[in-house]
Structures are given as C-alpha cells and as structure tokens.
Chain A
Amino acid sequence: MNNSDKPIANPIVVLREEFDDWAVLFNPDTADAVGTNPVGVAVWKRMDGRRSLGDIVSEIKASFTDTPDAAFEEIASFVNTLAEKGFVGLEADRKAANA
C-alpha cells in the first residue's frame, strides 16, 4: 500500500460499532470478522476510494492526539491486513473490475 493508493472499503462489509468506540467489521458473505480500535474505525470510514492513504493518515493525525511517528506504517499495515482478508480493495481494482 503506497501513499497515493486509494483504498476502498468492501461495501459488503458491515461496520458494527460498540459501546467503547471499538468495532467489529463483519463480512456477511464469509462470516469473517475482525475487531478494530477507534483509530481503525476512523480509517475504515475514510476508505471511500477518493482519499489516498496519505490523505487518510493526515486526517487521522489531525483527529487524534498522540499519534505515533510511525502512524503511516501502522495504518498501512492495518489496511494491508484488511486487504488480505478481502475487506478492502483499491480504487484501481474497482476501475479494473468495471472495465
């Protein structure tokens, strides 16, 4: 995942927010689920295929206090993990799929 890549959340996947601002991401097609913390929730909500990964990281840094120096790497890792599970694709993937 590069700075200019534009991740897009799989629209099938459901974000189930919980009482403590953590959330469950649930794929009803596969019954696969992952839990994520409030930062992950904020990242998820921004993966609209229009924002680049760099844009998302900038917005997260502006929204949360005490973001670590390695925020880009950590968020990229988070998005990559979701991509491996089919929860996230890239804007380019969607264009290719529509072609």
Chain B
Amino acid sequence: MSRPSALNAQTTGANQMPALGTLYFYLTEGCNLACRHCWMGPRFDPAGNRYPMLPVELFETAIREAKPLGLYCVKLTGGEPMLHPRFTRLLEIVRRAELRLTIETNGLLCTPEIAAEIAKSPNRFVAVSIDGKDAATHEWVRGVPGSFDAAQQAVRNLVATDTRPQVICTLMRHNVGQVEAMVRMVEELGAQSIKFNMVQPTARGEDLHETNETLTIAELIALGRHVEEDLAPKAKIKALIDYPRAFRSLGGIARGDGCGSCGIFNVLGVIADGHYALCGIGQQVPELIFGEVGKDRMEAVWRDNAILKSLREGLPSRLEGVCGRCLMKEGCLGQCVAQNYYRKGSLLAPNWFCEQAENKGLFPASRLVGGPGSSRNGAMESAAAES
C-alpha cells in the first residue's frame, strides 16, 4: 500500500529561484557521426578539429560559479563530448569539484583508457547510443561505417571498468522491428538499462518526421505500452521508454523510472562557443542564448534572465493547449520546453506528441481535467452508479 501520489501538487513557487542543480555542457559543435535523427544537428567533424570546442577555462568558470547556486551534477554531451581534446582534464575538474558525472556519447572514442578515467568518478552515469541490433541498421541511422562495432566496444570497455552504462536507442521505422532484439543485445553486453527514445521533430529529426521515417503517434503509444507492460517486467535489465507522462502507467511513474519530464527548473546549458543557453537548443535558436560564460555572472543569469523568469512564472499553470489541461503537467512541464519552443515559438506551447495524440483522439481521458466525470453532474452520476 503506497500513499497516494499527488498528480498536480504545486512544486515550485512562481517567484522562487530554484537551485541550479545541473549544468548541461554541449562541449563540441561538431560530431564524428552524422545521425539522421539528431535534434542538435551538429556539423560532421570526424577528427574533431574543424569546429569550436568549449575552452577548459570556461568549463571551470561555469562550474565554480554554479556551485554556490546548488550545482551537484554536470552532463557532458555534444555533438560528441569525447571529441573534446582535453576530455580527461574535464573529467578531472568534475571529480575535484565532487560532482555527479553524466555523459552522453556515441562511444566511438570510449577506449579502455577513457573508460578508466570515467571510472575514477565515484558518482557517474554514462549513456551510449546504439540504434540497432546490427551494423547495417545502426549505421543507416548514424551515417558512419564501423560505428556499430565501436559503440558495442564502448559498452564493453565501460562495463570492464565497473561502469554499467545505459544504452539509448531512438525508435523509427527503420529499427522498430528490433525492440526485443535490442533488449537482448543490451543484456548480453552487460549494460544496466536500455532507454527507447522517440525522434523529436527538431533539426534533422524534423526532416525524418517529414519523410515519414518516424512512427505514428498510435504506433508510439502502442509501443510504449508494450515496453512498459510486456518487455520491462521480463527483461534482465531495466527497460524504459521516454514518452510523455500522460501516457505512462501510474505504476511506472511510481517506480520512479525517471522519464518524461522537463528538468528546466534546475538546469542550465553551456554550449560549445561559451554561451549560456536554455539547453543545447541554443545552438539552433539564438533567442534562447542567455549570456556568455566568464563575462556574465552565472548567478545574475540564473536569477534575472527574462526567459528563465517567465518559465518559472508560467510553468506549469500557463501551459497551452492539451498540456494546460493535463493532470500530469506539474511533473511533466510539457516534457521538453526547448522542443515545444522550437516548434511553436512559445515557451508554454504544448508538446507535439500530446497535441497530435489529442487531435487523433488518443490522449488518455483519465489524465485530463476535462476527462470522464469532470462536471459535477458527471461526478454525481458516477457516484450513484457505484452505490
């Protein structure tokens, strides 16, 4: 018997400045892969010597200024974070600051030596992207021959140094038939979990949506149910799917699977050219850049930036469309503010997945304010039927 969980309890005061718990560092503007679905759209840079990388001094400055604001975690991502020529120095800075380390990588450069450096961080989490059970599928998505073997080897290298990573697989028409096989493959690799993502309609992902290489909303909802109800209970590892909370089972949410919400109240991005941004979206949407590391004090940016303030005041109460009527909005916050802004030009715009689901009559009625029994009459009829 668990205590009831409030679905729409107030969590953040409109005028409070929340803790800046996590910095997302987008270390590189380039990437050594050319993924069809990438929501960042970095330029292809196989050797990591063509495009800007975040200077180490700015990395240190950002961490130093964020710690008094509540920083406890950094995420190193890209582009491809391991392309950074001083990646091991960045790991050392994170260790010395006693921060939780999260890395998102395609694994190509995750050698045994790099894996050993990562393992020196006592509190760490690594995610490696693998988008198919075989080279043909993965490399169709990722665009570079040899990347499948390299990604698998990265997982093995991490496991060998006692870092059991999460494998992330983005689902699309080309690989949707491999969901079960992916779970088995990841089990055999010794990873700790697999997370299935949807293709977001941003940057290159937008192109995939337009060419119908992505799955329909109905297919994604059915797949989410299949992963939650059928695959996850039988898997030897944790199997997750990242789609909006309104579609997730309450049991899954109660287990704390950790997917399906926007961390915007406690996260700030630092992009490769040294600017603060909402997150990596700043590389696509200039108006979501907030200032410059080393020139603008982070405390002032975090406290006073007009966009951040408007988000704190407007989320979730002024979310638009179906998200504004969703009972899960307090925990979900529109799932991804950056994505929503990219698509609609409003920070409070509804999530694309939820909006499409509602338009097709597929949004779960039990999760809406206007769902079954929402009028007083409806409620009384329901109560009468029970007695």
Interface size class of B (residues with CB under 8 A): 20 to 34
Contact with A along B319-354 (1 / 0, CB 8 A): 000000001000000000000000000000000000
Number of cross-chain contacts by CB at 8 Å: 110
Is B123 interfacial (CB 8 A cutoff)?
Answer: no
Interface size class of A (residues with CB under 8 A): 35 or more
B249 CB contact (under 8 Å) in A18, A32, A75: A18
Smallest beta-carbon distance A84→chain B, Å: 10
Contacts of B229 in A (CB 8 A): 20
B249 and A26 contacting across the interface, CB-CB below 8 Å: no
Cα-based distance from A47 to B250 in the complex (angstroms): 22
Contacts of B6 in A (CB 8 A): 32-34, 85
B1 CB contact (under 8 Å) in A17, A20, A33, A71: A71
Enumerate chain B interface residues (CB-CB to A < 8 A): 1-8, 225, 229, 249-251, 253-254, 327, 364-367, 369, 371-376, 378-380, 382-383, 386-387
Add 19 more A-B contacts to A12-B379, A16-B366, A20-B250 (CB < 8 A).
Answer: A9-B383, A12-B376, A13-B379, A14-B378, A18-B249, A22-B249, A22-B250, A26-B371, A26-B374, A28-B378, A31-B8, A31-B327, A32-B8, A34-B6, A35-B7, A36-B2, A40-B2, A45-B386, A75-B1
Smallest beta-carbon distance B376→chain A, Å: 6
Say yes or no: A78-B366 contact (C-beta < 8 A), given A18-B250, A24-B327. no
Is A63 interfacial (CB 8 A cutoff)?
Answer: no
A28 CB contact (under 8 Å) in B1, B4, B249, B373: B373
A11 and B380 contacting across the interface, CB-CB below 8 Å: yes
